[in-house]
Amino acid sequence: MDTLIALLQMLNSLSPLAVIALLGLVIFLLVRGNSQTIEIKEKTTEIKENDLHILPEMADTLRRIEVQQAAAFSTIIAKLNGR
């Protein structure tokens, strides 16, 4: 409460033009902050709506590649060991 009283006393000591300028600055900061919030909401909506249904298919493909590579490496290792 003391800070509010101190703020009001400071505003009382300023000229009306300075008070108007401060209010304009506050409004500008609020509008700028709101537009940034809107941009963040649009980006999160874009991320949420991203289509990730192909991920299981990609995982299966990667598993098949891994199995094929493991078989190829085991063949190479067996040849190096003289088997």
Predicted structure pTM score: 0.38
The average pLDDT across 56-69 equals: 90
Q: Domain locations in the chain?
A: 1-50, 52-83
Q: What pLDDT does residue 37 have? A: 75
36-56 pLDDT per residue, tens: 777 777 777 777 777 666 778
Tell me if 26 sits within 8 A of 34, measured CB to CB: no
Model confidence at 63, pLDDT cuts 50, 70, 90, reads very high
Q: What pLDDT does residue 83 have? A: 67
Q: Quote the CA–CA distance of 37 and 34 in Å, as a whole number.
A: 5
Q: Quote the CA–CA distance of 16 and 22 in Å, as a whole number.
A: 10
3-state SS record for the chain: CHHHHHHHHHHHHCCHHHHHHHHHHHHHHHHHHHHHHHHHHHHHHHHHCCCCCCHHHHHHHHHHHHHHHHHHHHHHHHHHCCC
How much is the mean pLDDT over the chain? 83
